[in-house]
Amino acid sequence: MSFKHLALLALSPLALGSISVIDPSDYADLSADAKDNTILADYTTDNGGPMYLSADIAGRYSYSDTDVEYDHTTLSVNANDTSVLVITEGSTANLSYVTIVKEGYTTWLNQASFFGVNAAVNVANASTASIDHTNITVHNGAANVFAYGTGTTVYVSDTDLYSSGPVSHGLYAAGNATIHASSVRAYSGGNRCSSFSGDTPAGYIHVSDSIAHTAGIGSAIFYALGEVYGTNVVGVAKQAPVLFSDGAQEAYFENVDLTAGLLAGTVMFSSAERQTGAVLSFTNSRLTTSTEDMPALWFGNVIAQASLVATELNTSSGVLLVANSSQVTQAFDHFAGVEENSSIKPAQVTVSVAESDLVGDIVAYNGSSIVWNLTEHSSWTGSAYTAGTGSASFTVSLDDTSVWTLTSDVTVDDFTNGDTKNKNIRSKGHSIHYSKSAAGNAWLKSRTISLPGGGKLKPRA
Ligand SMILES: *[C@@H]1O[C@H](CO)[C@@H](O)[C@H](O)[C@H]1NC(C)=O
Ligand SMILES: *[C@@H]1O[C@H](CO)[C@@H](O)[C@H](O)[C@H]1NC(C)=O
Ligand SMILES: *[C@@H]1O[C@H](CO)[C@@H](O)[C@H](O)[C@H]1NC(C)=O
Ligand SMILES: *[C@@H]1O[C@H](CO)[C@@H](O)[C@H](O)[C@H]1NC(C)=O
Ligand SMILES: *[C@@H]1O[C@H](CO)[C@@H](O)[C@H](O)[C@H]1NC(C)=O
Ligand SMILES: *[C@@H]1O[C@H](CO)[C@@H](O)[C@H](O)[C@H]1NC(C)=O
Ligand SMILES: *[C@@H]1O[C@H](CO)[C@@H](O)[C@H](O)[C@H]1NC(C)=O
Ligand SMILES: *[C@@H]1O[C@H](CO)[C@@H](O)[C@H](O)[C@H]1NC(C)=O
Ligand SMILES: *[C@@H]1O[C@H](CO)[C@@H](O)[C@H](O)[C@H]1NC(C)=O
Ligand SMILES: *[C@@H]1O[C@H](CO)[C@@H](O)[C@H](O)[C@H]1NC(C)=O
């Protein structure tokens, strides 16, 4: 299953076209792992287990305060809750041309998530590992590479990551650890197996020149808990957004071509109290959503800032952005709001668009707000509207190099335009209704103004 019809922006900004991209699902025996991939991660029952580490992390090959090197060899284990390699307490490891095979189940999912129990390679507690030209295969559910603890840094290059089973993230960092990866090809077949993922309290993931493909629900390309950086990454998440971000996390993408298959292109939320300070940035990139009910960008129960520079949002829904009084549940398969949890709050989103041509609507639900700022030769063809119940607010601004083509009448709170004569509006007969009382509208002096194309800019109560 190679990804067809994808432009590999990594090659050159001009290399738009149809090419095939190979990932480990193209050579692995997927049917042999079909059963593995039906195992659902269930944190809500006893499988979650304690949030603290209940026993030392077990590994077939364990190194503490030691320098270790492996090359041109195969290392494997078949045992529950047991890593192949544990590199810890200030160790340094170099793995080159190694084949690593990990089988065996995870008993406590929380311990796998927060500490890397059962990961194929666990690098912890101020250790450093350099992994190149290596093949890491996991069955039954386990991270390929887990990095944990302040001062832990893992470098991965020219490496393939394959996994089956639940909670099998490719590169997974928690406890302030950092992973730098380049030329990685990752595939996961299970649920809740994001390719490049952080976990509490924070993980820092930098990925460049890489390919990622996920098949399962809840398996995004990036999962931000901490910071994620993707440069020259091509990815397809068949049943997930390309990004989940939980809380005040930061996600930066440049030259990426990412396709999402469920919920939305990106999903930024807070699983606990609403957090302020989530950041999302796309530069020279393309984000595609593959079904008709998916917006490109989705925000709920969070206060966030987004930036789109020279970026294409390709949706079949015609919805560029949703800000909702909602969040994604831990099943990662639907959005749920107050009907499931009375503490969920609306989203407040500020989006800055530059050098981008966008077609589609921005939609706010039930108390949410969207600030939508078009700058530097951007164009927007679309509308802003409120959906669901309750009111919502929109602030739209354009600089004098940007163009807005209306597709229906819109109601906004603040409206500011760098072109004070509004020549950069293509109204197509539609009108913009602005709030008389909003501070940003003082320049309009409560006037009704004709717009190019027959529509009007007019005050509302
Ligand atoms: C890392 O340090 C913590 C705290 O001392 C300890 O509980 C844990 O077992 C260590 N992890 C590894 C893999 O050695
Ligand atoms: C690992 O590789 C680095 C850089 O090539 C080298 O400096 C270091 O000595 C190696 N460590 C071991 C344990 O082989
Ligand atoms: C390993 O875990 C699996 C799945 O939970 C279980 O069926 C099996 O009995 C466990 N094996 C051992 C040796 O505990
Ligand atoms: C992560 O960093 C925080 C803040 O510096 C620190 O309190 C915490 O102990 C660190 N956690 C680990 C596992 O190193
Ligand atoms: C991993 O193994 C597969 C199957 O043998 C091979 O096609 C691929 O090139 C290997 N990847 C690396 C990085 O060695
Ligand atoms: C309900 O939402 C609040 C705030 O978002 C969160 O802290 C709490 O854990 C949620 N409860 C459940 C059962 O999900
Ligand atoms: C948009 O995505 C669809 C698939 O959903 C694809 O067929 C189409 O070529 C894409 N268009 C552009 C301009 O990328
Ligand atoms: C908006 O939130 C409501 C309430 O949670 C939910 O039912 C609906 O599916 C959400 N829609 C979108 C597009 O986010
Ligand atoms: C909208 O939000 C209000 C207050 O936050 C809440 O009471 C109401 O149930 C929400 N409605 C929907 C459909 O989410
Ligand atoms: C829009 O963005 C420009 C450039 O970043 C900034 O100067 C301006 O203040 C923004 N306008 C609004 C209304 O946020």
Report how far residue 53's alpha carbon sits from residue 88's, in angstroms, rounded to the nearest whole number.
15
Report how far residue 261's alpha carbon sits from residue 312's, in angstroms, rounded to the nearest whole number.
17
What pLDDT is recorded for position 98? 98
Please name the residue that has the structure tokens 């290399």.
15
Planar angle of CA 236, 349, 358, nearest 5 degrees: 55
Report how far residue 142's alpha carbon sits from residue 103's, in angstroms, rounded to the nearest whole number.
8
Which has the closest alpha carbon to 172: 119, 135, 109?
Answer: 119
Q: From the alpha carbon of 94, which atom of ligand 2 is closest?
A: 1
Q: From the alpha carbon of 314, which atom of ligand 7 is closest?
A: 1
Is the Cβ atom of 357 under 6 angstroms away from ligand 7?
Answer: no
In degrees and rounded to multiples of 5, residue 268 shows phi and psi of -115, 125
Nearest protein CA to atom 13 of ligand 10, as residue: 397
CA of 208 to the centre of ligand 2 (A): 23
Residues 293-330: b if buried by 16+ CB within 10 A, e if exposed? ebbbbbbbbbbbbbbbbbbbbebebebbbbbbbbbbee
Is the Cβ atom of 201 under 6 angstroms away from ligand 4?
Answer: yes
Pocket of ligand 3 (CB under 6 A): 80, 105
CA of 335 to the centre of ligand 8 (A): 6
What pLDDT is recorded for position 18? 63
Nearest protein CA to atom 12 of ligand 6, as residue: 341
50 SS3 class: coil
**pTM score:** 0.95
Report how far residue 240's alpha carbon sits from residue 87's, in angstroms, rounded to the nearest whole number.
32
What pLDDT is recorded for position 9? 41
First to last CA, the chain: 56
CA of 373 to the centre of ligand 10 (A): 6
Long-range contact list for 24-27, CB < 8 A, 24+ apart? 24/160, 24/161, 24/162, 24/185, 24/186, 24/187, 25/1, 25/162, 25/187, 25/189, 25/213, 25/215, 26/1, 26/2
Give the full edge-to-edge strand order of the sheet including 410-412.
410-412, 432-435, 456-460, 449-450
CA of 149 to the centre of ligand 4 (A): 7
- The token pair that represents 372 in the structure block: 């939508």
Which of 324, 341, 366 has most ligand 9 atoms within 8 Å of its beta carbon, as the pocket-test mutant?
366
| CA of 152, nearest ligand number | 4
CA of 301 to the centre of ligand 7 (A): 30
Report how far residue 438's alpha carbon sits from residue 416's, in angstroms, rounded to the nearest whole number.
11
Is the Cβ atom of 338 under 6 angstroms away from ligand 6?
Answer: no
Is the Cβ atom of 273 under 6 angstroms away from ligand 6?
Answer: yes
Is the Cβ atom of 175 under 6 angstroms away from ligand 4?
Answer: yes
What pLDDT is recorded for position 2? 43
Nearest protein CA to atom 13 of ligand 6, as residue: 341
Compute mean pLDDT per 10 residues along the chain, 461 residues long, and list them.
41 48 94 96 81 92 98 98 98 98 95 96 98 98 98 98 97 98 98 97 97 98 98 97 98 98 98 97 98 97 98 97 95 91 96 98 97 98 94 96 98 96 97 93 93 96 68
Nearest protein CA to atom 3 of ligand 1, as residue: 125
25 SS3 class: helix
What pLDDT is recorded for position 294? 98
What pLDDT is recorded for position 17? 52
In degrees and rounded to multiples of 5, residue 142 shows phi and psi of -175, 155
